Amino acid sequence: MEAAEIVVIGAGIAGLAAGRKLAEAGCRVILVEARERVGGRLLTVRPPGSALPVELGAEFVHGRPPELLALLEEAGLSIFEREGELLCHDGTQFTDGGMDESFEVLDALPEEGDRSFDAFLQEAKLPEAIAERTQQYVEGFNAADAGRIGTASLRRQQEAEEEIEGDRGFRVREGYDRLAEFVAERFEAAGGELRLSSPVEEIIWQQGEVHVRLRGGEELWAAKVVLTLPLGVLQAGAVRIVPEVKTEAISAMAMGAAARLTLVFSERFWEPEMSFLITEEKPLRVWWSASPDDAPCLTGWVGGPRTLEAPADDMALVLAALESLGRVFGRDDLEGLLVSAHRHDWLADAWSRGAYSYAPAGALGASAVMAEPVEDTLYFAGEHTDTTGHWGTVHGALRSGLRAAAQVLGSCAQGDSPSASASVGRD
Ligand SMILES: Cc1cc2nc3c(=O)[nH]c(=O)nc-3n(C[C@H](O)[C@H](O)[C@H](O)COP(=O)(O)OP(=O)(O)OC[C@H]3O[C@@H](n4cnc5c(N)ncnc54)[C@H](O)[C@@H]3O)c2cc1C
C-alpha cells in the first residue's frame, strides 16, 4: 500500500506544473496520465532531414509571459523570435500586408456588452472582404466559431496580450516537448510519482475523500484531486465525476477545432523573408515558415468551423495542401520536393477532443467558475480554467496549474491538511 496525499490528473503543462509545485512543497503526489508520454498538447517530432523540430501541438510562445519564460530559462531551453513579412495572396497574386483593416476592427471591439463576433461584424457594416478576412483571422487564431466566440472574451484577450507584448512570437529551438519533460523530471526529483498509460475513468468524491478509478480497475484514493482534463474531455463526459460538478460552466465554454499540417521540403521555394501567408485557398488558408530559421518547412493551418473542410485522411490533406501551394506559388513540382508531412488530429484524439478552448458570448465568467475549488477537495486547472485572458495557450495552462497548486497549499495552510492515510490500492 502506497501513501498519497494528492492525485493530479493529466500530465500536460498544467498538471505537471501543479504536481511539481505540490511535490516540492513536500506533499506526496501521484500524477496520472492517459498517454504513454507527458506533455499533452505539447507534441514535437524530429523528422530526419529537418534541423528544426516540428511541433504538432503548441508551437509559439505568444509574447513574453513571465512564468513561461522563467521556466524555459530554468530548463536551459532557447527561444528565437519569429521574423519576416506577412503576405496575402488574393487568388491570383501576392499582396503586401492586407491585415491592417482587420486589426483596426479588432481594436474597435465594444467595451460594453457581450455578443458573438459575427453579430458584431454585422452591426459594424464593414465592406464584405474586410469582414470576411477578419472573421477568418478570429476563427483561425482562436480555433473558434465566430458565430459563438464573444466580443467580451476577445477584448479581455487583447488586453491580456498587450500586457505581455502578445504580438511577438517565439519558438523553442529544442522543441516544446523538452519543457514538459523537464518539469516531469523536476516533479519526480521532488518525490512525485508519475504514472503514464493510466487513463482515469471515474472520480467518486465527497469532501476530503476522492476515489480515482483507472482503466483496468486500479483505484487511487486521496484527500484532494487536481483535474487538468481538457475541456473537450470534460464536455464529452469521458471521465465520470460522481456527484457531477461545474456542469453549467463546462457546457458554457467551447472547445475549438483546428487542423495543422507541417510539410518538410528538400528546398525552400518561397522568399526567405516570408513569415505568414494568408491565402484564399482551401482547406488550409494560413501558412507560416520557420523564418528567420531557414528550415525548408511550411506549416498550414485552418481553425474554427472551416476545420471541417480539411480531410480527415492524412494523405488527402497533404495532396490538397500541395495543390493549393502549387497554385499560390505557380509550381507543379511540389510533390517531388516534399520530404515528409506531419499532422496530429487533435479533434479525433480521445485525450484532447479538440484544439483549445474559447469563451462564447455570455460565458466570460465560466473559466472563473472552473477555477473555484469544490469543497477544498476538487481543484481544476488547464488552459480552459485560465482567468487572465490567456485561454488556449501554454502560458495560460501553466498559470492555471500554478494557481491550482497554490489553492491546494493555501487550504492545507488553513489546517485542512490532506490525510496522511490517503492511499493507493487495487480492487
Ligand atoms: C494544434 C495546436 C496548436 C497550438 N498552438 C499553440 C501555440 O502556438 N502557443 C500556445 O501558447 N498554445 C498553443 N496551443 C494550446 C496549448 O497547446 C494548450 O493550451 C496547452 O498545451 C494545454 O495544456 P493543458 O495542460 O491545459 O492540457 P493538455 O496538454 O491537454 O493536458 C491534459 C492532459 O490530460 C490527459 N488526459 C486526458 N484524459 C485523461 C484521462 N481520462 N485520464 C488521465 N489523463 C487524461 C491528456 O492526455 C493530457 O496529457 C495549441 C494547441 C493545439 C492543439
Residue 95's pLDDT is 81
Q: Which of the residues in the chain have pLDDT under 50?
A: 1-3, 419-427
Domain 44-83+257-342, CATH number (from 3.90.660.10, 1.10.3210.10, 3.40.50.2300, 3.40.50.1860) = 3.90.660.10
For the residues of 180-245, what is the DSSP string, one character each?
HHHHHHHHHHTT-EEE-S--EEEEEEETTEEEEEETTSEEEEESEEEE---HHHHHTT-SEEES--
Its CATH architecture, for the domain 2-40+176-254+357-426, is 3-Layer(bba) Sandwich (3.50)
What residue's CA is closest to ligand 1, atom 10?
Answer: 393
CATH topology of 2-40+176-254+357-426 equal to that of 44-83+257-342?
no
Domain ranges (residues) in the chain: 2-40+176-254+357-426, 44-83+257-342, 99-163
| Ligand 1 contact via 241 beta carbon (within 6 Å) | no
Quick check: CB of 228 below 6 Å from ligand 1? yes
Q: What is the pLDDT of residue 303?
A: 97
Decide: 118 in ligand 1 pocket, CB within 6 A: no
- Report whether residue 377 contacts ligand 1, using a CB cutoff of 6 Å: no
Q: Please tell me the predicted confidence (pLDDT) of residue 4.
A: 67
Question: Cα of 360 to ligand 1 centre, how many Å?
Answer: 20
Could you tell me if the CB of 239 is within 6 A of ligand 1?
yes
**Ligand 1 atom closest to residue 228's alpha carbon, by position in its atom list:** 32
Contact 359, 253 (CB under 8 A): yes
- Out of 44, 356, 386, 387, mutate this one to test ligand 1's pocket (max ligand atoms within 8 Å of CB): namely 356
For residue 114, count other CB atoms closer than 10 A to its CB: 19
State the pLDDT at residue 97: 61
Q: Which atom of ligand 1 is nearest to the CA of 382?
A: 26
Q: What is the pLDDT of residue 49?
A: 78
Nearest residue (CA) to ligand 1, atom 33: 10
Provide the β-strand partners of residue 210. Answer: 205, 222
Q: Which atom of ligand 1 is nearest to the CA of 352?
A: 30
Q: Tell me the whole-structure pTM to 2 decimals.
A: 0.96
What is the pLDDT at residue 422? 40
412 grid coordinates = 492545507
